[in-house]
Amino acid sequence: MSSEAGSLERAMRRALDLAATPGVPLGPNPRVGCVLLAPDGTEVAEGFHRGAGTPHAEAAALAAAGDAARGTTAVVTLEPCNHTGRTGPCAQALIEAGVSRVVFAQPDPNPEAAGGAQTLRAAGVTVELGLLEREARRLNRAWTFAHEHGRPFVTWKFATTLDGRSGAADGSSRWITGEAARRDVHRLRASCDAILVGTGTVLRDDPELTVRDALDQPLPPELQPLRVIMGTRDVPADGRTSNGAAETLHLRTHEPVEVLAALHARERQHLFLEGGPTVAAAFLAAGCIDEVVAYVAPKLLGAGPHAVGELGIGNIADALDLEVEDVSVLGHDVRITGRPRGRN
């Protein structure tokens, strides 16, 4: 690798690290980082995005550089935006600051903001794209998916015994798995912006559906994922999903597609599905599950409800096939993470 290519890749890795600064961004915006390099490859300034309404990464780096931005190469994890949204267009700001080259990782999948590369080129700025694109897409996996598919990314989580039971026949088992798995569920909840169950689960279990155990301090209500209840039945007004610990949305429908459209309209990008067998079957049948996280407890029950309801599959050839991405042991339990085969 030439020293030029090496310094660009180092700068992009730095920009990715900056973008991944813990705790940012808040709200529906992507994580973005930017590094400005002098012609000799040394770093002039850097910036990252802290959340909706705050400066974009490029604007933050330009502000830090001041006049020193002239003649630099901007290394950015995402294509500079071309629109006036909550802040001004970055493509224009880079042109005005005299940046001579822009190297970005991921093209902007947001149709409202895309087109920055073209604007930059039209103004005589050299533009290169695709460096560490896979890493950049992974960093904003749900955001990218939501813009590309027009709906939130859906993670379905369930817990089951080794013989596939999600509870004991007498209903004596809200938790099948142990403490480590439970903490892990809260960590995953914290990485999503909506948590969904069906009315059946609310009526039977009275869950709170908040992030509690994953962090040193509890998340305030405005930073909690949106609690979503799906189904036509009423839920008790004095139940835990109605407490003030987080916002709650009751969608009186059985259609996953309608649920996802309602969440997309609210700029929710990553849904954590914790519903019972009926909700899980509805989402699976609709092809609306993008990731499966199964917690398997090494227990046998021999009776009791299953994790997923009737899918209308009679033949093994029609089974819903998952590609396993990770297997981990958490305490006494096993976590299996997979994706429906053939999906990105």
Q: List the catalytic residues.
A: 58
Decide if residue 87 touches ligand AOF (CB under 6 A).
yes
Q: Which does 32 bind (CB under 5 to 8 A by kind): ligand AOF, Zn ion, none?
A: ligand AOF
Return d(Cα 261, Cα 265) in angstroms, integer.
6
Q: Which does 108 bind (CB under 5 to 8 A by kind): Zn ion, ligand AOF, none?
A: ligand AOF
Decide if residue 56 touches Zn ion (CB under 5 A).
yes
Decide if residue 49 touches ligand AOF (CB under 6 A).
yes
Decide if residue 57 touches ligand AOF (CB under 6 A).
yes
Decide if residue 127 touches ligand AOF (CB under 6 A).
no
Cβ neighbors of 9 (< 8 A, separation 6 or more) are 1, 131, 132
Q: Which of 16, 60, 81, 271 binds Zn ion (CB under 5 A)?
A: 81
Decide if residue 291 touches ligand AOF (CB under 6 A).
no
Decide if residue 142 touches ligand AOF (CB under 6 A).
no
Return d(Cα 282, Cα 311) in angstroms, integer.
8
Point out which span in 106-114, 161-169, 188-196, 252-260 binds ligand AOF (CB under 6 A).
106-114
Q: Which of 70, 86, 174, 187 binds ligand AOF (CB under 6 A)?
A: 86
Decide if residue 100 touches ligand AOF (CB under 6 A).
no
Q: Cβ closer to ligand AOF: 82 or 241?
A: 82
Q: Which does 184 bind (CB under 5 to 8 A by kind): Zn ion, ligand AOF, none?
A: none
Point out which span in 81-89, 169-177, 191-199, 286-294 binds Zn ion (CB under 5 A).
81-89
Return d(Cα 71, Cα 335) in angstroms, integer.
50
Return d(Cα 194, Cα 152) in angstroms, integer.
9
Shortest CB 114 distance to Zn ion, Å: 11
Decide if residue 137 touches ligand AOF (CB under 6 A).
no
Decide if residue 188 touches Zn ion (CB under 5 A).
no
Binding-site size for ligand AOF (CB under 6 A) equals 17
Shortest CB 80 distance to ligand AOF, Å: 6
CB 45 within 8 A of CB 67: no
Return d(Cα 273, Cα 195) in angstroms, integer.
6
Q: Which of 45, 69, 90, 159 binds ligand AOF (CB under 6 A)?
A: 90
Decide if residue 103 touches ligand AOF (CB under 6 A).
no
Decide if residue 85 touches ligand AOF (CB under 6 A).
yes
Residues that bind ligand AOF (CB under 6 A): 29-30, 32, 49, 52, 56-58, 78, 81, 85-87, 90, 108, 110, 113
Interacting residues with Zn ion (CB under 5 A): 56, 81, 90
